[in-house]
Every structure is written in structure tokens, then in C-alpha cells.
Amino acid sequence: MVRAGGRQRAAGGADAEEESGFFVRALARGLTILALFGVEHPEWGLSEICGRTGMSKTTVYRMARTLEARDFLAYDAKTERYHLGAAMIPGAYLTMSYVGFVRAAHPFLERLGAVTGETVELTVGSAEGAIVVDEVATAHPFRLNRPTGRILDSLANSSFRLHVAFRPPAEQRKIIGAAQHKRTRNTITDPEEIMRRLAAERAEGMAFDLEEQDLGVCAVSAPVLERDGSLKAVVTVVAPAERFGPRLRKRKAEALRSTVAELTKHLSGRALNNL
């Protein structure tokens, strides 16, 4: 057994936890439904929830009605779709503990954006993937219109891949075991090759996306680490392929590595001052 959050947790991660006597499957199903709602999918119909979760219509209906009764979900009779309810608001404010971190990191993202001339993103990990919690847009006329709060869950994405690289091997294999779609001709889908790549990127402290998720779009990501070496967040520079040739790529990667080192040092100093 290992310690996790002040409580005993079975070694082996989520799968082992599900086999323990402490796992409540009904609660897990309800939380799975709540986890579907996000900035890109703020509303869901009953059939859509069934299709996404694999639960039966009867189960989803009972779960949704229970969550609605407790104000965690709200139902719109006109659209016949659910959205998050008022009971989610207090929890949302509690998660604002990340706001302090985002505020502290934002000036570093702005400086990195100014140095590279590109869009800069900050992501944190979640059970569903990597969540974009802050972004500094490029000053160039053409820019991608992608909202803060979206979830990145493709291993073709360098930011999400770094988040996975810092997870235990069993979790890595579970994520890799899910269908890896060939998004572009450059997407790597072989499980063993992905595992080797994760190990190399964690050791290097940097990951690249060379038109693997979207043709014409490249990126480089680097981890922000806690003092114990665990992952706090990932900073990513996103650029069009024409501004990501070998020389420019090296320059952007060096700027990113320098910025992440400064940010990590700054956050460590803040933590020590708060002790």
C-alpha cells in the first residue's frame, strides 16, 4: 500500500482501487457523467451520454435524474439536453486554487510569447486529459481560435504526451491501449514506439509535435516540476509549420526551456516564502 492524499490507497492505481472494497461503482458512474461537461461540450442529450459512457439508457436516465434532483445537473425541456447545475458552483470556486498558479505563471507566458512571436499555452493534468488553463495568443494575424478550458487527450499532442510521460507505466499503457487515431501522416500509433518516446521525452524534459495532431501546426512542450520532481504543469509553444523549421525550432525550444526554468525557480521561491 502507498499513501495518497493522506489515505491508504492500493498500489497499482485506479484499476486496483476499483477492485478494492472502497470503490462505489454507482458514484463512479455519476462522476463519469459529470466529467463529460466542459467548455467544448457544455450540454449533453441522454442518448449522447449513453454513447459516450457506454452505460445503458436506463442507468444514465436514473443517474441524470438523481444529479438533477441534487442540482448538479439542470435539464432544459426545450432542447432536451442537460447542463451543469448550481450545485457545481461552490466546487468550481474551490478549484480556483489554480488561479494563483495561473496568475503567477502568466507573466512568464507573456514574455515567452514576445520572444518567440508564437502562441503559448499552459496546461494542467486531469483524469480526462490535459486542460488548457491559460493562453497567450500570437501577435501574427493568423491565429488558431481555440478556447481556454479545452481538454487535450491525443498522444499526438506534445502537451498531453508530457503529462502522460510523468504518469506511472501502468497508467501510460492504459492510455496508449485506447484507440490511437492516425490524425495525420506523421502521427505515431505503435504502442511500443509511444512508450519509448514517453521515456525519452521525460528524460529530455521536452516534447515536440511536428504536424502530428494537425497538418500545418507544430509545437514544443516542456514540464513545470514541483520540488519533489512531480509534474505541476506543461508550457507549450504552438507555431505554424512554416515558422518551425530546424533553426527556428531550436530557437523556440531554447526560449521555452529557459522560461520554464525561470518559472520553476519562481514558484519554488513562492512556496518557500509561504512555509
Q: Give the pLDDT band (50/70/90) at residue 181.
A: confident
This prediction has a pTM of: 0.69
Element (H, E) at 76: strand 73-76
pLDDT category of residue 180 using cuts at 50, 70 and 90: confident
Q: Which residue in this structure is represented by grid cell 498500489?
A: 11
Q: Where in the sequence is the domain holding 176, given as residue range(s)?
A: 95-273
**The amino acid at 92:** A
Q: How many CB atoms lie within 10 A of CB 274?
A: 6
168 and 236 together in one domain: yes
Query: If you average pLDDT over residues 139-162, what whole number do you get?
Result: 83
Grid cell at residue 198: 514517453
pLDDT greater than 90 at residue 8: no
Last residue of a domain, one of 57, 90, 123: 90
CATH code of 248's domain = 3.30.450.40
Question: Confidence class of residue 129 from pLDDT cuts 50, 70 and 90?
Answer: confident
On whether both 204 and 116 belong to a single domain, the answer is yes
Number of structural domains in the chain: 2
Tell me the pLDDT band of 149, cut-offs 50, 70 and 90.
confident
| Domain match, 41 and 160 both | no
Residue 263 has pLDDT above 80, yes or no: yes
pLDDT at position 157 over 60: yes
| Pairing verdict, β 207-210 and 217-225 | antiparallel
- 116 shares a domain with 217: yes
Q: How far is CA 109 from CA 98, 130, 198, in A?
A: 16, 17, 25
Can you say whether the dihedral through the CA atoms of 77, 35, 154, 16 is positive or negative? negative
Query: Cell triple for residue 214?
Result: 494537425
Cα–Cα distance for residue pair 212/251, rounded to 1 Å: 20
CATH number of domain containing 72:
1.10.10.10
Q: How many helices (H) and strands (E) does the chain have?
A: 10, 11
Which three cell numbers mark 215?
A: 497538418
